[in-house]
Structure 1
């Protein structure tokens, strides 16, 4: 079977191979690039705290932030630091 694209008949085999090659190329390109050495040994919570520090406006907010930070640190300990299960 073939499809007509821009007036030319293209076999489905070529479309399949082209799709796989394009997907592989995009994956390769997205994984490349210079790695940030400063973020290599830091946990997710440390990187988030540095990127977006949160200032509590009241004692209740501070307690809430502390409990969230505690929850995240416990989840990192239990899950080995990864967010995928």
Structure 2
């Protein structure tokens, strides 16, 4: 079976190949991420903190510092279930 698109006959096989290609390329583009944000996060060594106030930011930094120390202490031992 074929379809007429813009005055040309196009076989259904080509339409299906084109559709699958567009979906695959679109998925790949959507999942590859933002290289600039990834590079900035890797270079700073800390995750980016988005807080609404300076008090909230201080609380988050304190919590990460406290819990980060616990994670480093237990990194050598297997997790308890």
TM-score, normalised to structure 1's length? 0.43
TM-score, normalised to structure 2's length? 0.44
Q: Which has the larger radius of gyration?
A: 2
The higher-RCO structure (CA 8 Å, 6+ apart) is 1
